[in-house]
Amino acid sequence: MAIGMRQLGDLTVSAQGLGCMGMSQSYGSGDEAESIATIHRALDLGVTLLDTANVYGAGANEELVGRAIADRRDRVVLATKFGIVRDADGNQSAQGDPTYVRTCVEESLRRLGVEHIDLYYQHRVDPDTPIEETVGALVELIDSGKIRYYGLSECGAETVRRAHAVHPPAAVQSEWSLWTRGIEDSVAPTCAELGVGVVPFSPLGRGFLTGAITSTGQFGEGDMRRGLPRFSDDNLAANLAIVDALRAIAERRGDGVTPGQLALAWVQGRGEHVVPIPGTKRRSYLEQNVAAAELALSDAELAEIEAAAPAGAVAGDRYPAHLQRNVGR
């Protein structure tokens, strides 16, 4: 099993990365030993890009990733994020003023146990701080050697252009999968035009496109999918038609390919500047995901996959309203 390399702007990374969030939050309880073993296995398979954030597990995920890479830092392109702020009641907002940026990077460097961060994203755009000021602070961090490159996450196309005018971002991270196609209207074309990489998170639809989820009763305590509209009983039942279509295509191939691998290969094929970061906390799923990076799809298969999940056909919004308002600024 091998995996190729791609470019996020001037930053060279593996063609697929590993999202580490679920090791510490959002999808039920974690297993640190298995999570660290999964990170090590990813590196052994040629995955270089590891993705975390200061808000994942309230810092615990950065600490976990830091422990996992302590003796193999030179093999990792390390990405983390700042900018999501949660109050005591769990309400979420965004912050990006220069003082906050400088404070966050020092905290992340300490938790990760590293001297520099390779790719530092603004997790959500602060509506009260001009993006030019945030990028200015990030450029200072580049100049001081604390970060190598910066990126943006879940932003709008105009924000990408304004940020690029100050200093080109290496990448824009956003949800992109067969059932989340919103960035195709303007963000993805803008990134392609400007030479900015795209890093799709949740390329497997938070696990839905694997076919393993058929009922909301499968979600344990603390699983964020319980509160996402697409996973409500009615919407989940309607959306299963997408998985059924993927399963039929996979069965016709007859080479052991899974519905999830087809969905991931579709994202992988959006362009050479696209580097998906499927998240997992288990080695077995990691190996399936990495195999999809080299999966060749015929034109006929691509057309059939597109027809199974046309943009706008998915039942339910991505997020409830209080989370959606922070997306696309």
Catalytically active residues are 56
∠ at Cα 258 (256, 259), nearest 5°? Answer: 150
∠ at Cα 183 (95, 86), nearest 5°? Answer: 25
Token pair of 215, please?
């009922």
Token pair of 96, please?
């990006």
Half-sphere exposure (CA, 13 Å, Cβ side) for 235? 17
Contact 203, 15 (CB under 8 A): no
Amino acid, single-letter form, for residue 63: E
Compute φ and ψ for 81, nearest 5 degrees.
Answer: -140, 160
Q: Strand 5-8 vs strand 11-14: parallel, antiparallel, or unpaired?
A: antiparallel
Tokens 């390390």, residue?
A: 78
Token pair of 120, please?
């530092």
**Most distant CA atoms of the chain, gap in Å:** 56
* Cα distances (angstroms) measured from residue 107 to each of 11, 53, 69, 125, 206: 24, 11, 17, 20, 28
b (16+ CB within 10 A) / e for 108-121: bbebbebebbbbbb
Q: Of 219, 216, 256, whose CA–CA distance to 236 is shortest?
A: 216
